[in-house]
Structure 1
Amino acid sequence: MAMAVAERVWSVVVPHHALGAQQARHCLAAELAEVIPPLLLADVIAVVAELVGNAVRHAGPLPGDVVRVAWRVRALPTGSTVEVRVTDGGASQVPRPRVVGPDELDGRGLTIVAALAIRWGVDRDGLGQSVWAELS
């Protein structure tokens, strides 16, 4: 797939609610379907869904009871790279992957993110935190 864009950035604000992850997925799919390969898009959507879900479950909202989702696509000679960033009001603990047993119902989100991303991390400031991931 040829990519006509060298770098492009988007962002959206979604509710700090379970529906926020669904809205983020739909927005990503609409904006990136013609920009990046389908397999990369599926991974990006999975990562954003996990990060927004974690923000809703484990962190406070930004002012306005929202979560900000941003993404940047860069065209490289070796292919596209997508960076996603989910910003919330912060949590008492820094997000980190957990080790869970096979019978646990949840707790695998950041392990999934780590498996799909080239790298990921957390940035914190006085206003909240952003969890980001880079995929290619």
Structure 2
Amino acid sequence: MNVEITLVGAEFVQRFSATRRGARLARRLAVHQLDGWGVPYGSELSEDAAVIVSELAANAVLHGHVQGRDFELRLVPLADTLRIEVSDARGERGPEQRGLRPGAESGYGLHLVEALATSWGVTDRAVGKTVWAELPIGHH
């Protein structure tokens, strides 16, 4: 199914408490926002984005948590790509892109991100880091 996001240039930005509840809410609001942009609930793009948001938000809560700090979700529709960004306050502790091993205790969720996304990475911020992933819009 070809999906066309109608609000290219728009973006969704929201902060969430760095808790499991915050991570669940991030996923829920992400698919709601995508639906508002023309990506139907249950479509492949919506489901793939939900998995990526879930994994990145869970990592922000489990590994990027700093007491009293939230994490931020940003969805940015570009011409043919949906960019998903999750930022947290812990810059010194980022995901390992090298050495991801199937079956390892940590990094399993990043295997899912790597399998679904066309690209992903980590960008430093003034405070903390942003882990991002990109999905193709037109191929879902």
Judge same fold: TM > 0.5, yes or no.
Answer: yes
The separation in 1 between residues aligned to 2:4 and 2:127, in whole angstroms, is: 39
Contact 1:58 1:91 in 2 (8 A): no
- Which of 17, 30, 33 matches 1:31? 33
Give the root-mean-square deviation of aligned CA atoms.
2.1
Does 1:42 pair with 2:44? no
Contact 1:5 1:75 in 2 (8 A): no
What is the letter of the counterpart of residue 69 of structure 2? D
**Counterparts in 2 of 1:4 and 1:126: CA distance versus 1, 3 Å:** closer
**Counterparts in 2 of 1:32 and 1:92: CA distance versus 1, 3 Å:** same
The separation in 1 between residues aligned to 2:91 and 2:7, in whole angstroms, is: 36
What is the letter of the counterpart of residue 116 of structure 1? L
| Deviations, residues 4-48 of structure 1 (Å, cap 9, x unaligned) | 323220111111001111110111121111422511011011001
What is the letter of the counterpart of residue 39 of structure 2? I
Aligned to 1:57: 62
The separation in 2 between residues aligned to 1:68 and 1:6, in whole angstroms, is: 20
Aligned to 1:112: 112
Query: Normalized against structure 2, the TM-score is what?
Result: 0.81
Aligned to 2:72: 68
What is the letter of the counterpart of residue 124 of structure 1? D
Q: How does 1:113-128 map to 2 (within 5 A)?
A: 113-128=113-128
Structure 1: 5+ residue stretches without partners: none
Aligned pair count reads 129
**Counterparts in 2 of 1:91 and 1:5: CA distance versus 1, 3 Å:** closer
Greater than 6 Å deviation, 4+ residue runs: none
What's the CA shift for 1:91?
4.8
Structure 2: 5+ residue stretches without partners: none
Contact 2:91 2:125 in 1 (8 A): no
SS at match of 2:133: strand
After TM superposition, the structure 1 stretch with the greater mean CA deviation from structure 2, 51-60 or 89-98, is 89-98
